[in-house]
Amino acid sequence: MNIKIIGTDHLMKAEEIIRIIEIEKPDIIGVELCETRLNMMVLNVQQETQKNESIIGKISQEIKKKAEEEKLTYGSDMITASKYALENKIPLSLLDKSVIDISYSMSKIPQNEQLGFMNELNEFQKKTLKEQTKNIDENKVLDELKTKYPMAYEILIVSRDLFITYRIQRLLIKFPDKKILCLLGKGHINSINKLLELDSEQKEKE
């Protein structure tokens, strides 16, 4: 399979993402976005002004706020890759589930998990993004999420890994001779590589 999957922390600088794309020279670029997020983050399409009070909405708003305070752009990896693809007329594939569907599913998780997430958010506010992402062990974070919040883990990780893998498989079937570059959050990489049965030479993390 002529595919390269790059793991990011969603805070990578634009020039680093561009460097990766220009080295790989892909025919197709896949990103961990859905149409809603592409419209909001990349195309600046006006969305409903009502504030998103879901768990996902609150977490996203807090991360964005903290990133702005630290002069960072959360999601810079996906934004840059998407803009590069659109500006250079490279086909762009949106690989992730709808954030609307994810938010709705998260609103149905047990009350104890919802309260736990709000407590996690309070703790999150005490440290900078750089402190929280430096030397992070993604496997440990995923294990803790799975243990403490099993239903949220199924929604945020398992179901999305399966969805993203399906989208990538469709690309591989439809474009067998094209070089595909996918940019995904590091937490999804191991599972998706296994689902795609990529060998060690084809796995790529940054």
**Most confident listed range (9-13, 56-60, 86-90):** 86-90
Q: What is the pLDDT of residue 19?
A: 97
pLDDT-derived band at 127 (thresholds 50, 70, 90) equals confident
- Please give the pLDDT value at position 53: 66
**pTM for the whole structure:** 0.87
pLDDT digit string, tens, across residues 105-117: 999 999 999 999 8
Q: DSSP string covering the chain, please?
A: --EEEEEE-S---HHHHHHHHHHH--SEEEES--HHHHHHHTS------S---SHHHHHHHHHHHHHHHTT--TTHHHHHHHHHHHHTT--EEE-SPPHHHHHHHHTTS-HHHHHHHHHHHHHHTTS-HHHHHTT--HHHHHHHHHHH-HHHHIIIIIHHHHHHHHHHHHHHHH-TTS-EEEEEEHHHHHHHHHHHT--TTTB---
Specify the pLDDT at position 74. 86
> Is residue 205 over pLDDT 60?
no
Q: How is the chain split into domains, by residue range?
A: 3-196
pLDDT digits (tens, 9 = 90+) for 20-56: 999 999 999 999 999 999 998 898 875 554 455 677 8
Q: Looking at residue 104, what is its pLDDT?
A: 92
The pLDDT value given to residue 25: 97
